[in-house]
Amino acid sequence: MAERSQTYLWAMRALFVGICTLFVFLRLLPLDTLPRGWAGPDFILAFTLAWGLRRPEFVPPLLVAAIFLLCDLLFHRPPGLWAALVLIGSQTLRARAPDLRDLTFPVEWVSVATTLAAMTIGYRLILGVMMVDQAPLGLSLMQMLMTLIAYPLVVLVSQSLLGVRKVAPGELDAMRPGS
């Protein structure tokens, strides 16, 4: 039984890495040669936050840091800054996950929205203090809003297609070592 649960845990972690790899690949595809005037959602971040709230064991902190550091390097962002902010934000949500477990989805969504807003503001403030060129404020806010709008879809796909549901109270006892 324990071997099967470990296999399932690692399979879900591999699935998470696969989903992130797919979205990195899609974002790097040269589908349009002109710069876009709009910013789409950050699906990698949305999946990270959704899975971190629902099943924190599927997205360990080291994996989150590695994925977002790789994304920083591939997307030409300041290396480590967004990765650190995502790690802090995801760990904050992970710490609040037991309190959010019994609450409704809108409360979860507001919690994710405040965390994402704090991450976006922090990112822009740090870049501003360091006098690093950054995207226009409108594009940053648009990406944040698009990510928040896409979050319910990500949760729906995660829950219905991928089986990533909130931990039920009975599962907590089974997940403890020595049970």
Q: What is the CATH number of the domain that holds 157?
A: 1.10.1760
- Asked, for residue 28, whether it belongs to a domain, the answer is no
pLDDT at 172: 54
- Asked, for residue 77, whether it belongs to a domain, the answer is yes
pLDDT at 42: 94
pLDDT at 102: 82
- Asked, for residue 82, whether it belongs to a domain, the answer is yes
- Asked, for residue 34, whether it belongs to a domain, the answer is no
- Asked, for residue 164, whether it belongs to a domain, the answer is yes
- Asked, for residue 71, whether it belongs to a domain, the answer is yes
- Asked, for residue 118, whether it belongs to a domain, the answer is yes
- Asked, for residue 65, whether it belongs to a domain, the answer is yes
pLDDT at 73: 95
Q: Which two tokens stand for residue 61?
A: 């902190």
Is residue 125 classed as helix, strand or coil in its secondary structure?
helix
DSSP category for residue 57: G
pTM: 0.88
The tally of domains found in the chain comes to 1
**Along the chain (179 residues), what's the average pLDDT of each consecutive run of 10 residues?**
79 95 91 76 95 92 96 93 95 89 89 96 94 89 95 94 78 50
> What is the CA 165 to chain-centroid distance, rounded?
15
HEC profile for 127-153? HHHCCCCCCCHHHHHHHHHHHHHHHHH
Domain that holds residue 73: 2-22+39-175
> What is the CA 72 to chain-centroid distance, rounded?
14
